[in-house]
Amino acid sequence: MSDISVQKDPSELTMTVTAKYDVTADRAWELWNDPRQLERWWGPPTYPATVVDHDLTAGGAVSYFMTGPEGDKYHGWWRVIDVDAPRRLVVEDGFADEFGQPQAGPQAGMPVTVLEVAIADRTEGGVAMTMTSTFASAEAMEQVLAMGMEEGLMAAMGQIDTILIA
């Protein structure tokens, strides 16, 4: 089982989730780069993800939805800001409507975060994958955390071990 930790820093408007895996950086990168692998862990176990579009190049976009136990769907999007495979990915992360159109920002009442993924080698072998979400304001951070972001990410990342041993 992976070692997963969460640190929230309200003064910096960040939440950082770090997980350690006994794989290479290239293998860990495939969790992001392969949309079928991303689907297997991005949503919590009871809200599996379906990736619709997947372009992990700077300026590219990813769109997806998560389906709940009652068939309810929650759509999201990423706008890719920076990629340095297999070490770094930076995206804007937001909510979308049922057509995949962004529904985030002040006009929609839903926050946009910047998600930075870093994959670093560990001296004892394997990698540490760190996901840092940066929020635009304390209110945005509180809103997303109240929606269950921390618990959802912990549950989602808890599914990665199964993918890595397959």
Residues 124-147, mean pLDDT to the nearest whole number: 95
Mean confidence (pLDDT) of the chain:
92
pLDDT for 137 equals 95
**pLDDT-derived band of residue 102, with 50, 70 and 90 as boundaries?**
confident
- Strands laid side by side in the 14-21 sheet: 3-9, 14-21, 127-135, 113-121, 88-96, 73-84, 61-67, 49-54
| Cβ contacts of 124 within 8 Å, gap of 6 or more | none
Dihedral angle, C-alpha 31, 35, 37, 39, nearest 10 °: 110
pLDDT for 96 equals 86
Task: Kindly list the structural domains of the chain, giving each domain's residue range(s) and its CATH number in brackets, ordered by start.
Answer: 3-151 (3.30.530.20)
* Nearest residue to 130 via CA among 144, 142, 118, 140: 118
CA 108 centroid distance within chain: 21
82 forms beta bridges with 90
Amino acid letter, residue 101: Q
Residue 109 has pLDDT above 70, yes or no: no
Of 33-37, 97-101, 154-158, where does the model show the most confidence? 33-37
pLDDT for 97 equals 82
pLDDT for 133 equals 97
